[in-house]
Amino acid sequence: MTFGAIYLASCNARAMGPMKQPTVSARLVEGLLSFAADNGAPRDALLADADIPSEAFEDPDGRVPIGDYQALMARAKAATGDPALALRWGEAVDMADVSIVGLIMNASRTMGEAFEQLQRFNRLALEVDTVGAAPRFVLQPERGALWMIDTRVEPNAFPEISEVSFARLVCGPRRFLDKPHVLEVRFTHPEPSYRQEYDRIFQCPVHFSQSGNAMRLAPDIASWPVALQPAYVLPIISRHAEALLERIAEEPTVRAAVESRLVKDLPKGDFTAASVAADLGLSRQSLYRKLRAEGASFSQVVDDLRKEMAIDLLRDRRTSVAEAAYLLGFSDPASLSRAFKRWTGRSPRDVRRRSSGSGPKSG
């Protein structure tokens, strides 16, 4: 989709009328609140002015209407006296510090894989209306260049989202890459008074009042390695992986080998029996046959592992139901809820309430 096509589609989307208001992860909002407080803004006053209850941050599944997030951003900028606050927040705070989205991207093997994870997990952090319900970011080759295009509808209504997103996508990888990955940046909003901050942070040509928000990337960026941290993005997943490795050492079953592989691949959502078999040096039919000899099937192994890890993730309470769903390779939270009901007879949130000591006790 070209810049012009995105602009025309945005106009058509606006003509269709208002949509259901998107939401933002409460943890992302709390990250902004903490950054503003660190820069001199009164935390409690900001919350009160933005009409966001402090209880919103106590629930891992907490969401905040994007309108309240926008109000908090405006008040934070005013309270700190820093019109470039959003841009500097994106520069200073890695996505991994405020959302599981960043953890998963950082655990990717290549920049191409990190982009795929961004596509899959981005809405966990921030929901936005996009052109034609497209993914938030799309890669578009154009005249020999590679562009990452932000398909958000009406970006100028809340340009700080573009500032934060682009600054994080530039400054985060810069921490481990040894060469520039973003070669040019375009914004739809007019040039602001703090233009020099854009030049300092992006370190490449920056253009304003453009037909689309986009970044021109290094053409071969997809193959660049990330290797920022181990592939296990949460302590719980790491614990499962270590236990499986110990099980393989003690009793080298095919099932344990399959589980060990699945622990790494579940968060990516791209595992298949054929891919797991190939990693183990087997054909798919050989894998099926060996699992049958151990009294198991591939689908059963996947289901049992998901159940075990889901219960651990939800009892931990640091992972939201939506995050748990994607970490376990489900297409959406509803799919996890259906599976959890089948496994336990309860909903994921019910298990979380019981594990925290609130709600009715089981008899």
- Looking at the predicted structure, is the pLDDT value of residue 135 above 70? yes
Mean pLDDT, residues 326-351? 87
Q: What is the CATH number of the domain that holds 31?
A: 3.90.1520
Same domain (yes/no): 182, 320 = no
* Per-residue pLDDT tens over the stretch 63-120: 899 999 999 999 999 999 999 999 999 999 988 787 777 777 877 788 998 898 888 7
Q: So what's the pLDDT on residue 286?
A: 94
Percent of the chain with pLDDT over 70: 86
Give the model's confidence band at 14: pLDDT under 50 very low, under 70 low, under 90 confident, else very high.
very low
Give the model's confidence band at 228: pLDDT under 50 very low, under 70 low, under 90 confident, else very high.
low
Quick check: is 228 in a domain?
A: no
Nearest C-alpha neighbor of 288 from the set 280, 278, 277, 303:
277
Same domain (yes/no): 173, 243 = no
End-to-end CA, the chain: 57
- Residue 63 β-bridge partners: 25
Same domain (yes/no): 248, 206 = no
Quick check: is 175 in a domain?
A: yes
The reported pTM is 0.74
223, 249, 275 - which closes a domain: 223
CA atoms within 13 A on the CB side of 28: 29
Quick check: is 360 in a domain?
A: no
Same domain (yes/no): 241, 266 = yes
Same domain (yes/no): 164, 190 = yes
Same domain (yes/no): 53, 160 = yes
User: Residues near 41 by Cβ (< 8 Å), separated by ≥ 6?
Assistant: 75, 76, 79, 80
Same domain (yes/no): 198, 280 = no
Quick check: is 189 in a domain?
A: yes
- Looking at the predicted structure, is the pLDDT value of residue 266 above 70? yes
DSSP assigned state of 108: -
Q: So what's the pLDDT on residue 145?
A: 92
* Per-residue pLDDT tens over the stretch 275-302: 899 988 899 999 999 999 999 999 999 9
- Number of domains making up the chain: 2
Same domain (yes/no): 195, 337 = no
Which region among 5-14, 92-101, 165-174 has the lowest average model confidence (pLDDT)? 5-14
- Looking at the predicted structure, is the pLDDT value of residue 175 above 60? yes
Q: What is the CATH number of the domain that holds 294?
A: 1.10.10.60
201, 223, 245 - which closes a domain: 223
Give me the domain span that covers residue 34.
Answer: 3-223
User: Residues near 217 by Cβ (< 8 Å), separated by ≥ 6?
Assistant: 139, 146, 147, 148, 181, 182, 183
Give the model's confidence band at 351: pLDDT under 50 very low, under 70 low, under 90 confident, else very high.
confident
Same domain (yes/no): 140, 260 = no
Q: So what's the pLDDT on residue 232?
A: 53
CA distance 28 to 56: 11
Q: So what's the pLDDT on residue 17?
A: 38
Quick check: is 320 in a domain?
A: yes
Q: So what's the pLDDT on residue 268?
A: 72
Same domain (yes/no): 151, 183 = yes
Mean pLDDT, residues 120-133? 83
Quick check: 59 and 101 in contact, CB under 8 A? Answer: no
Give the model's confidence band at 226: pLDDT under 50 very low, under 70 low, under 90 confident, else very high.
confident
User: Residues near 233 by Cβ (< 8 Å), separated by ≥ 6?
Assistant: 100, 103, 104, 106, 107, 267, 327
Triad 59, 61, 64: Cα angle to 5°:
90
CA atoms within 13 A on the CB side of 157: 10
Q: So what's the pLDDT on residue 9?
A: 37
Quick check: is 20 in a domain?
A: yes
Same domain (yes/no): 74, 158 = yes
Give the model's confidence band at 16: pLDDT under 50 very low, under 70 low, under 90 confident, else very high.
very low
Quick check: is 132 in a domain?
A: yes
Same domain (yes/no): 67, 142 = yes
Quick check: is 100 in a domain?
A: yes
- Looking at the predicted structure, is the pLDDT value of residue 18 above 70? no
157, 191, 223 - which closes a domain: 223
